[in-house]
Amino acid sequence: MRAGRPRSGTALLLVLPILFLGYFFLYPLIRILWLSLGGEGWIDAFTRRRFIEAAWFTLWQASLSTVLTVMAALPLTWVVSRFNFRGKSLVRAFVTIPFVLPTVVVGAAFLAVFDAGLGALIAAHVFYNIAVVVRTVGGVWSRIDPAVEQAAAVLGASPIRRFREVVLPLIKPALASASAIVFLFCFTSFGTVLVLGQGRLRTLEVEIYQQAVNFLDLPVAAALSLIQLVTVAAILVVSARTQKRASALTLASETRLPAPKRGGQRRTAGAILTVSLGLLAIPLVGLVGASLDGGGIGWRSLVTDTPSAVDPLPAIGNSLGYALIASLLAVVVGGLAASWLSERGAGGWFDLLLMLPLGTSAVTIGFGFLLALDRPIDLRGTAAMVPLAHALVAIPFVVRATLPLLRSIKRELREAAAVLGASPGRVWREIDLPIVTRALAVGAGFAAVVSLGEFGATSFVVRPASTTVPALIFRYLGRPGSSSFATAMALAVVLAAMTALIVLLIDRVRGAETGMF
Amino acid sequence: MLVVEDVSVHFGGKAALDDVSLEIGAGEVVALLGPSGSGKSTLLRAIAGLETVESGRIAFNGRDLAGVPVHERGFGLMFQSYALFPHLSVADNVAFGLRMKNVSDEEVRARVAEVLGWVGMEHFGLRRVDRLSGGEQQRVALARTLAPRPPLVMLDEPVGALDRMLRERLVEDIGRLLDREGAAAIYVTHDHEEARVISDRLAVMRDGKVVQSGPYETLAAAPATPWVAEFLGVNQQA
């Protein structure tokens, strides 16, 4: 069978994405590079104790968070991918909630339950990332034919040896790629560290922000951004390699899973579910609880005018408006790029260019915007900066969410429709259009979720007069007084609810399980 | 009924079909047997109108099909990969061809239920196709192909992707359904056992050519070349 030929003229699809990414992504990066070369940026970055400490802290907290995430997630992954039980889809949805929550909300939720500090930060990272392991590893684990394990048992392998010698080698590639993603998220963690570290815990990301915004040492911030960028790119390459191996693994098609056996197995599975879900619920319940503290003053302050503070209601409006514009932009740019990519195989320079903003930390994007977007028109003081930055952060997500759907329109589907009697126009209307529409709706949903929760880039480019909900939550958390704290919690609940609503809508539209990474 | 005369198809200078001729009578089931790359699928695609025929002639009921677009030929083709529409339910997949013929909704519903019943999928109508097992997808693809009552049904290794046990049962099922519909059929396979069970006549293909055709017994008794004998699994000394 011959491979599908790319249709001619599709290069035109690329004009807009290349212009957009060129001006809003590559050009600011070049300005950052240029800036880092003036002054003592590089020398400082590699010699000052403060930065070496930040780099070391970034590295070890990310490693520790990753190891703990995997350890916490594996038992739950086993239950979810090995057994069928009532309410399983509900369990899977619940596990995914933390992952779609904005980082500032996760920070706030842990602040509601724990004291700020290292313990809370690591716990928050584990909470946030468990879904990555459960979904990535579980996807592979659930497709391993149970007979393989049974064969090992018949041959005399104990449960532990069966796991070590049969299951583990099979899920290893998925485990490696999940770990790489978790490490990446923890390595570039910003909002959570800012909220839970209270200035004492500094990752590279936080350091870049502080140098640029508080100390105005721009060359060193630029050098740190580039160090961060190179490291993240290296992690991405490793993760892409392992993912390739993971997909090369051929597995049995969907196997029918048993219910847990009565007795020991059932008790173990039940205990794992109860403990895991209970732990995941603590910060969520704590957040809602804290928002109700003080007789509901937090919620009341959302609707009443508070002197000196920025009003929460306009911020909610701003966030929704930014999300709308950002998802439109991201869907147009990302959709064009994805439809170009869907005619081709994976890989290639353009694929890389599209995925780079994913690897670039949000803080670097915000920093670059602030540095570079002064010509040909000075955008820096305008409200356009926020949705533009959000769109840039969201584009890789849009591409990844739409590409599998667009790729599902294979040449064969069009041929099958034609054989069944559909004219060329009818083929487009009945096959291409519904799938493209669905893909774009899913992409827009992801972009809106990203935009609503975005904090890193926003913190550089947002203007106080037109702030976003995450930025406002952070400001309220920084104010003294229990009523400010309650307001922050109430806002976090609102933001979490908005995000969850969109994710639910996405799941409705998408139906099938295609991954976000 | 179907006449294929000296048909050639080239892919980038290489002949995928080289002067192939084949005739199929009404209600006849012909198995195209050959190794992968021998041109079996290409022949099906050429008859369906999905490949451009450079020379030769394909005619159906006396009408030359050159210039007749794919969607106006009215044949059934079951793809090897099934090519089910991922955005449609099982029932909507099966209904697709009927809707293209502007059949009334009532008739569509009745026919879809009937055909799904034949393949034992009557309770799966509302399911999403990506939630089906391989065997279930195969049945839906078969139902979708048969639903519009095509006078000629082409099946491209319809059970090739399934495991052996399922395969034997499904081949028998397919044979029964083809009988019931009374349609002529071309059945592509590389398994001589499958070909023997399902077909009235075999055409053995190699390198884009039909090497030999006839009923299985004739071919097995007098294979044209040692290669045919080996491919049919018959011992020449016998």
Q: What is the pLDDT of residues A25-49, one digit of tens each?
A: 889 989 888 888 877 778 877 888 8
Q: Do B50 and A412 touch (CB under 8 A)?
A: no
Closest to B75 (Cα-Cα) out of B63, B60, B94, B86: B60
Nearest to A434 among B87, B97, B131 (CB): B87
At A247, the pLDDT band (50, 70, 90 cuts) reads very low
Residue B89 pLDDT > 50: yes
Size of interface A-B (CB pairs under 8 A): 71
Cα–Cα distance list, A461 to A410, B121, B161 (Å): 42, 57, 55
As a whole number, mean pLDDT of residues A422-436 equals 87
B76 pLDDT exceeds 60?
yes
Where is A479: in which H helix or E strand? Answer: none
A-chain CB neighbours of B156 within 8 Å are: none
Contact A426 B81 (CB under 8 A): no
Shortest CA distance from B154: residue in chain A: A419
Cis amide prior to A376 (ω within 30 degrees): yes
Whether the CB-CB separation of A379 and A385 falls below 8 Å is answered with: yes
Query: Are residues A420 and B148, on separate chains, in Cβ contact within 8 Å?
Result: yes
Nearest Cα of chain B lies from the Cα of A423 at a distance, in angstroms, of 6
Q: What is the pLDDT of residue B212?
A: 92
Mean pLDDT computed over A491-517? 75
Question: Of A420, A423, A431, which has the smallest distance from its Cβ to B97's Cβ?
Answer: A420
pLDDT (tens digit, 9 = 90+) per residue, A169-192? 888 888 988 898 899 889 989 999
Structure-token pair, residue B186: 């071309």
**Which residue did the predictor score with more confidence, A15 or A305?**
A15
- Segment of A207-216, A316-325, B9-18, B83-92 carrying the highest mean pLDDT: A316-325
Asked whether the predicted pLDDT for residue A251 surpasses 50, the reply is no
What percent of chain A lies above the pLDDT cut of 90? 26
- pLDDT tens-digit series, residues A388-406: 999 998 898 888 888 877 8
Per DSSP bridges, beta strands B201-206 and B209-214 are antiparallel
**A2, B48: Cβ pair inside 8 Å?**
no
**Residue A254: pLDDT over 60:** no
Give the per-residue pLDDT at A172: 86
Rounded Cα gap, residues A94 and B140, in angstroms: 34
Nearest to A431, CA basis, from A445, A447, A448, A411: A411
**pLDDT grade, residue B238 (50/70/90)?**
very low
φ, ψ of residue A506 in degrees (nearest 5)? -60, -45
- Judged against a pLDDT cut of 90, whether residue A97 lies above it is answered with no
Segment 155-214 of chain A within 8 Å of chain B by CB: none
Give the count of beta carbons closer than 10 Å to the beta carbon of residue A358.
Answer: 17
A78-99: b (≥16 Cβ within 10 Å) or e: bbbbbbebeeeeebbebbbbbb
Q: A418–B71: do the CB atoms touch at under 8 Å?
A: yes
In this complex, which of A2, A413, A419 lies closest to B48 when CB atoms are compared? A419
Asked if A128 and A185 touch (Cβ cutoff 8 Å), the reply is yes
Mutate to test the interface with B, among A420, A433, A509 (most CBs of B within 10 A): A420
Average pLDDT over residues A288-292: 88
Model confidence at A321: pLDDT above 70: yes
Percent of chain A with pLDDT over 70: 89
The whole-number pLDDT of residue A6 equals: 44
Q: Which of B9, B43, B71 best probes binding to A when mutated, by most A CB atoms within 10 angstroms?
A: B71
Are B96 and A2 inside 8 Å of each other by CB? Answer: no
- Which has more confidence, B4 or A145? B4
**Please, which residues have CB within 8 angstroms of residue B140's CB and are 6 or more apart in sequence?**
B82, B84, B90, B93, B94, B119, B121, B124, B129, B132
Compute the distance between CA of residue B9 and CA of residue B226 in angstroms, rounded to an integer: 27
A2, A254, A431 member nearest B85 (Cβ): A431
How many angstroms separate the CA atoms of A215 and A202, rounded? 15
Q: Annotate B132-147 with b (16+ C-beta within 10 A) or e (fewer).
A: beebbbbbbbbbbbbb
Judged against a pLDDT cut of 50, whether residue A18 lies above it is answered with yes
Residue A16 has pLDDT above 50, yes or no: yes
Chain B residues with CB under 8 Å of A342 CB are: none
Tell me whether residues B48 and A408 touch, CB distance under 8 A: no
At B23 the pLDDT is 93
Show residues of chain B in contact with A427, CB under 8 Å: 71
Mark A182-212 as b/e (b = at least 16 C-beta within 10 Å): bbbbbbbbbbbbbbbbbeebbbbbbbbbbbb
**Does residue A479 carry a pLDDT above 70?**
yes
Q: Is A348 on the interface with B (CB under 8 A)?
A: no
On whether any CB of chain B is under 8 Å from the CB of A13, the answer is no
Is the pLDDT confidence value at B110 over 90? yes
Mean pLDDT of A61-76: 95
Instruction: State ipTM.
Output: 0.82
What does the pLDDT average to over B176-186? 89
The verdict on a CB contact (< 8 Å) between B83 and A408 is: no
Task: Out of A412, A424, A435, name the one closest to residue B81 (CB).
Answer: A412
Is B86 in contact with A408 (Cβ distance < 8 A)? yes
Nearest CA in chain B to A436: B87
What part of A 241-260 touches B (C-beta under 8 Å)? 253-254
Across A71-87, average pLDDT: 89
Question: What is the C-alpha to C-alpha distance for residues A22 and A278, in angstroms, rounded to an integer?
Answer: 46
Give Dmax (Cα) for chain B.
Answer: 60
Average pLDDT over residues A5-19: 70
8 A C-beta contact, residue B8 and residue B53? yes
pTM passes above 0.80: no
- Spatial neighbors of A264 by CB under 8 A, at least 6 apart, are none
Decide: B17 and B8 in contact? Cβ < 8 Å: yes
User: Which H or E run contains B178?
Assistant: helix B164-181
Sequence-distant (≥ 6) Cβ neighbours of residue A285 within 8 angstroms: none
**Spatial distance between the Cα atoms of A24 and A18, rounded to a whole number of angstroms:** 10
Write down the H helix ranges in A142-263.
146-154, 159-162, 168-187, 191-197, 204-209, 218-248
Q: Output DSSP code: residue B127.
A: S
